[in-house]
Amino acid sequence: MEERQHDLQAELKDAAWRKSRRSNPSGNCVELARLPAGRVAVRNSRHPAGPVLICTHDEIASFVRGAKDGHFDSLLATGTANTNRNVICAENSFPST
pLDDT score of 3: 66
Sequence letter at residue 78: T
Annotate 11-38 with b (16+ C-beta within 10 A) or e (fewer).
Answer: bbeebeeeeeeeeeeeeeeebbbebeee
Quick one: three-class SS letters along the chain?
CHHHHHHHHHHHHHCCCEECCCCCCCCCCEEEEECHHHCEEEEECCCCCCCCEEECHHHHHHHHHHHHCCCCHHHCCCCCCCCCCCCCCCCCCCCCC
pLDDT score of 18: 93
pLDDT score of 63: 92
Pick the most confident of 65-69, 81-85, 90-94.
65-69
**Tens of pLDDT along 9-66?**
889 988 999 988 877 777 778 899 999 989 999 999 888 899 999 999 999 999 999 9
Q: How far apart are CA 63 and CA 79, in angstroms?
A: 25
Residue ranges of domains in the chain: 2-55, 58-97
Mean pLDDT within 65-86: 74
**94 pLDDT exceeds 60?**
no
